[in-house]
Amino acid sequence: MEKPTYKSYPVWDVPVRLFHWVNVACVISLIAMGTVILCAKKLGLDTDGKVLIKTVHVYVGYVFVINLAIRLVWGLVGNRFARWTSILPLGGGFVKKLKTYVAAQKAGKPQYYLGHNPKGVLAVIALFLVMMTMATTGLVLAGTDIYFPPFGAMIQEWVAAAGVNPADVVPYVKDNVDTEAFKEMRAFRKPFITLHYWTFFVVLGLIALHIGAVVYTEIKVGGGLVSAMFTGKKILPREPEDQ
């Protein structure tokens, strides 16, 4: 049996690691506040309480969106492992790599990757898609619910009653709104809130799968996935497939 020779490899650059941990903090906060918003009636929140929790939710959402936008750009200019060319299954041969990786795991001879392994690639794509969905729908909801940027001013103009300064339209106060325009706005908002709502549960599922996969890989295969997000380095027992 070949004796493993452990070696340290630099992988994740500082921006990628910062994105990861800022994202973790934002997602945990947003999930917690989103749960409170969903249970507002059961928790007995009054109108002021709802507006407050939604306002904080939106501000954390801005950090989430900005952090995500920076990561999307960094995928074009970051180091080799941060780039989309390494993350996305571009070109031919990905399905073969995935099958080989799975077969090697089943045979007890796991393959090691510096970047994301083929299963990890699929997980990362799913995570980025749901994050972008949450970010986009969240910005629309921020504008249509509590009139926050970037769409809030346009929504206020849409629903303001005749002769009313749009800036005087405030959340949960209907005195200054045009009833029909408000109904139209809420109809426009409905598919966004529906998508946001169901994607929330998809996020929870993907987080559970992500944590489970990381724990399983650390125990069964090793490679220092968690420590690499702190140090930027992976420690592998043999040569990686993507060196």
pLDDT for 243 equals 78
Count H helices, E strands: the chain? 9, 2
Q: What is the tens place of the pLDDT at every residue in 116-148?
A: 999 989 999 999 999 999 999 999 999 999 999
Please report whether residue 65 resides in a domain: no
Please report whether residue 53 resides in a domain: no
Range of the domain at 228: 7-18+81-236
Structure tokens given for 86 = 């390494």
Helix (H) or strand (E) holding 125: helix 118-145
Please report whether residue 104 resides in a domain: yes
Low-confidence ranges of the chain (pLDDT < 70): 1-4
Quick check: 64 and 135 in contact, CB under 8 A? yes
Q: How many domains does the chain have?
A: 1
pLDDT for 150 equals 97
What is the distance, to the nearest Å, from the Cα of residue 138 to the centroid of all Cα atoms in its chain?
Answer: 12
Please report whether residue 41 resides in a domain: no
* CA quadruple 234, 236, 239, 243: dihedral, nearest 10: -10
Please report whether residue 2 resides in a domain: no
Please report whether residue 232 resides in a domain: yes
Cβ-count burial of 220 within 10 angstroms (0-12 exposed, 13-18 middle, 19+ buried)?
exposed
Q: Which residues pair with 9 in a beta bridge?
A: 234
Residue 121: CB atoms within 10 A of its CB come to: 20
Please report whether residue 153 resides in a domain: yes
Total-model pTM: 0.93
pLDDT for 133 equals 98
pLDDT for 1 equals 46
Quick check: 142 and 152 in contact, CB under 8 A? yes
